[in-house]
Structure 1
Amino acid sequence: MITSGIAADRAKQRQSLAWIREQSLDPNCIESLANHDSDIQPHVIEF
């Protein structure tokens, strides 16, 4: 896993990213949004 260059606690950063990945693999997860990608357009997530 590649982490960002800035972190107050690298271990907690990795733990947090691992949790996000785990949740994103859940079939009930509609979308995982954890980025600063300027190409992502605002949109509505419907349940």
Structure 2
Amino acid sequence: MSTLEMLKSELNGIDIRFDEPLKQYTYTKVGGAADYLVFPRNRYELA
């Protein structure tokens, strides 16, 4: 099982992206690819 598959099974329902370019999330449009980018839906999913 890959790391991404393990994360998705452990963090069920949370949006997880692999190798996501960070330039679309920064004001200056710079940034390399993040190994894993997680988007929790609420503050409780951060814990």
TM-score (norm 2): 0.29
Q: Greater RCO between the two (CA within 8 Å, min separation 6)?
A: 2
Which of these two proteins has the greater Rg computed from alpha carbons?
Answer: 1
Higher strand share: 2
